[in-house]
Amino acid sequence: MKNSFIKEIDSAIRNTQDAKRAEHCQKFFKTGKGEYGEGDVFLGVRVPELRKLAKAFKHISTHDITHFLKSKYHEERQFALFVLVNQFKKGNFETKKNIFQLYLDHTHHINNWDLVDATAHEIVGGFLFDKDRSILYKLVQSHDLWERRIAIIATFYFIKRNDFNDTLKIAESLLHDSHDLIHKAVGWMLREIGKRDLKTEEEFLQKFYSDIPRTALRYAIEKFLPNKRKQYLSGEF
């Protein structure tokens, strides 16, 4: 039986749904048979609305968060993840630890790139920054696409603090990954390193140039000057 908070949030989310946007999202997030988001269902709620709701209901219980995290609706899972990020940022050590574990226990519900990208660095990276990071290397070996993406995106938290070592190691281990969404994530994180330390990014690109998927390379060099970008694409750097 739904409690009053769940009913209120259900109602608030559905009051902002948009059928046309939902239809667009179904296509944009590749929800068709055999695609990476197969079976995902959208309501058509915009991210800013979900963030507002996450702030308005920032004190809801773990039970209620888990209810929405298990929802078949993409935006309800997204709402739950935004609440977790907000609670993580304000929480003490025990709160952060519990949210971190809840996140890892429900990775099968964090099952599209936008859900991963908005939360993995905040929660997984944020918790592990000053701790043992071996769990990231277990996630890298996962058969689950989203767990592998969580592993590399989590390191964005480290990158923002000029800590690149784990990003580079994980990026190297993912160079031969079969999925385009992993190539994009690797390239993105390399680009973020380059914004802070171009020399380190270029050393990686040149060392592993023959192994870097083209998609990852294009993402990694996106902010390079046109001439330098052309050199990397032609292998004449």
Structure tokens at 60: 């809801």
**In CATH, 1-118 is 1.25.10.90:** yes
Distance separating alpha carbons of residues 24 and 204, to the nearest angstrom: 38
- CB count, 10 Å around CB of 134? 9
Question: Cα–Cα distances in Å, from 55 out to 59, 81, 124?
Answer: 9, 12, 20
Q: pLDDT by residue for the chain (237 residues), tens digit each?
A: 467 789 999 999 999 999 999 999 999 999 999 999 999 999 999 999 999 999 999 999 999 999 999 999 999 999 999 999 999 999 999 999 999 999 999 999 999 999 999 999 999 999 999 999 999 999 999 999 999 999 999 999 999 999 999 999 999 999 999 999 999 999 999 999 999 999 999 999 999 999 999 999 999 999 999 999 999 999 887
To 5 degrees, how large is the angle CA 216–CA 106–CA 180? 15
To 5 degrees, how large is the angle CA 112–CA 164–CA 142? 40
Strand partners, 73: 41
Q: What is the pLDDT of residue 96?
A: 98
Structure tokens at 89: 């940022």
Structure tokens at 27: 């296509």
Structure tokens at 196: 């802070």
Per-domain residue ranges for the chain? 1-118, 121-237
- Report the 3 state secondary structure along 210-237: CCCCHHHHHHHCCCCCHHHHHHHHHCCC
Q: Could you please state the CATH topology (level 3) that the domain comprising 121-237 is classified under.
A: 1.25.40
Q: What is the pLDDT of residue 5?
A: 81
Distance separating alpha carbons of residues 199 and 101, to the nearest angstrom: 36
Instruction: List Cβ neighbours of 182 (8 Å cut-off, separation of 6 or more).
Output: 145, 148, 149, 152, 174
Q: What is the pLDDT of residue 2?
A: 65
